[in-house]
């Protein structure tokens, strides 16, 4: 594995002259609480910072272009021999607001079979971070909503800024969950907590997320990256072989095959629900900042 160059956003889906959609940077040893030489040697801490960046002012919403950039970023990390832990965060005031309205409207206007294929690939692209042999720490710096919250939950650990707001808002949009959330969330917490969050779409603050076990700790905004990088730095200072083997055992509780199947099943359900009037009403209500008026229950 060749080391990733700091700040290199090549192959990330952005146009020439635009900031990269996904950047990967080496975190200096000092920022990780390590000695100057770094855990990986030669001044390399072994910690990488992956930053989500949607430049269109949409709170780092997830798009097809972002998915392609994320896939390229994971490929780079897979080829980085020095990488021992990865911190994931969002640029600016949000972690990720989930799928943007353009993506949603494309699904509403698309064919069900095509939508299922697009959604399955979209979700498994982000969830594929679980296939890499290094732990991921989400530094949730602001809103993490829908698929963005699903991405945070796919990471192995989460630290939240006190400014963070979190929501699995799918039902408020007239949708079933995505990003394998109905499988990942109860595995990370319990059935009761997963029901409360997925069936209400409640928006919760960072301190409630801590109480529910969604995050490890809550820190002030200025302390978020330092706290996440120090945690990653302690992991990177341990035996990388032992860390990788231990991580593999921990992730075996929810193996990749099961995660991929869950994402596929959710994609199939969402492909149907995107075509229903409830989804149009849910999206319109959010845009118009009014309560939604959903129709009677239907069985699918």
Q: What are phi and psi of 169, to 5 degrees?
A: -90, 15
pLDDT for residue 165: 98
pLDDT for residue 58: 77
Q: Is residue 147 part of a domain?
A: yes
CA distance 289 to 30: 45
Q: Is residue 8 part of a domain?
A: no
Q: Is residue 5 part of a domain?
A: no
Q: How far is CA 293 from CA 57, 171, 180, 278, 290, in A?
A: 29, 12, 27, 8, 9
CA distance 261 to 120: 9
Cβ atoms of residues 121 and 73 within 8 Å: no
CA distance 120 to 270: 10
pLDDT for residue 300: 81
Q: Is residue 294 part of a domain?
A: no
The β-bridge relationship of strands 217-219 and 157-161 is: parallel
Those residues with Cβ within 8 angstroms of residue 33's Cβ, 6 or more apart along the chain or in another chain: 230, 233, 234
Question: How confident is the prediction along the chain (300 residues), in pLDDT tens digits per residue?
Answer: 233 333 454 345 555 567 789 999 999 999 999 999 999 999 999 999 999 998 776 799 999 999 999 999 999 999 999 999 999 999 999 999 998 888 888 898 889 999 999 999 999 999 999 999 999 999 999 999 999 999 999 999 999 999 999 999 999 999 999 999 999 999 999 999 999 999 999 999 999 999 999 999 999 999 999 999 999 999 999 999 999 999 999 999 999 999 999 999 999 999 999 999 999 999 999 889 999 999 999 888
Question: Helices 181-188 and 191-200, interaxial angle, to 10°?
Answer: 140
CA distance 121 to 179: 10
Q: Is residue 79 part of a domain?
A: yes
pLDDT for residue 278: 94
CA nearest 172: which of 92, 90, 98?
98
Side-chain half-sphere of 289: how many Cα atoms within 13 Å? 0
> In the structure encoding, which two tokens stand for residue 114, read together?
């095509």
Q: How far is CA 184 from CA 218, 240, 297, in A?
A: 21, 25, 26
pLDDT for residue 11: 44
Max CA distance (Å), the chain: 63
Residue 46 sits in a domain whose CATH number is: 3.90.226.10
CA distance 248 to 232: 17
The tally of domains found in the chain comes to 1
Q: Is residue 83 part of a domain?
A: yes
CA angle 267, 272, 274 (to 5 degrees): 90
pLDDT for residue 102: 81
CA distance 22 to 258: 27
CA distance 103 to 118: 10
Rounded to two decimals, the pTM is 0.93
pLDDT for residue 14: 57
Rounded CA Rg of the chain:
19
Q: How far is CA 167 from CA 3, 10, 15, 30, 249, in A?
A: 35, 32, 31, 34, 29
> In the structure encoding, which two tokens stand for residue 39, read together?
């855990």
pLDDT for residue 3: 32
Q: Is residue 1 part of a domain?
A: no
Q: Is residue 175 part of a domain?
A: yes
pLDDT for residue 110: 86
CA distance 209 to 167: 10
pLDDT for residue 105: 85
Cβ atoms of residues 29 and 43 within 8 Å: yes
CA distance 125 to 129: 8
Range of the domain at 283: 22-227+235-288
């Amino acid at each position: 594995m060749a080391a990733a160059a700091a700040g290199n956003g090549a192959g990330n889906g952005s146009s020439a002259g635009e900031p990269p959609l996904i950047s990967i940077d080496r975190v200096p040893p000092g920022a990780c609480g390590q000695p100057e030489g770094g855990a990986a040697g030669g001044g390399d801490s072994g910690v990488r910072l992956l930053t989500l960046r949607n430049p269109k002012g949409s709170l780092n919403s997830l798009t097809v272009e972002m998915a392609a950039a994320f896939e390229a970023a994971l490929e780079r990390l897979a080829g980085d021999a020095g990488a021992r832990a990865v911190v994931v965060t969002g640029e600016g005031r949000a972690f990720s607001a989930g799928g943007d309205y353009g993506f949603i409207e494309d699904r509403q206007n698309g064919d069900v079979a095509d939508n299922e294929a697009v959604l399955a690939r979209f979700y498994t692209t982000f969830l594929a971070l679980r296939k890499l042999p290094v732990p991921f720490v989400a530094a949730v710096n602001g809103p993490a909503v829908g698929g963005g919250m699903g991405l945070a939950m796919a990471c192995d650990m989460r630290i939240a800024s006190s400014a963070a707001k979190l929501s699995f808002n799918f039902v408020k949009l007239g949708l079933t969950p995505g990003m394998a959330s109905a499988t990942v969330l109860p595995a990370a917490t319990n059935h009761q907590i997963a029901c409360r969050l997925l069936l209400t779409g409640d928006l919760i603050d960072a301190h409630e997320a801590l109480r529910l076990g969604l995050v490890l700790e809550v820190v002030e905004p200025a302390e978020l990256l330092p706290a996440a990088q120090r945690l990653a730095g302690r992991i990177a200072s341990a035996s990388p072989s032992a860390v990788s083997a231990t991580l593999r055992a921990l992730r075996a509780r929810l193996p990749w095959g099961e995660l991929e199947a869950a994402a596929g099943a959710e994609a199939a359900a969402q492909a149907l629900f995107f075509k229903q009037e409830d989804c149009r009403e849910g999206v319109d209500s959010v845009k118009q900042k009014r309560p939604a008026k959903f129709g009677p229950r239907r069985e699918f």
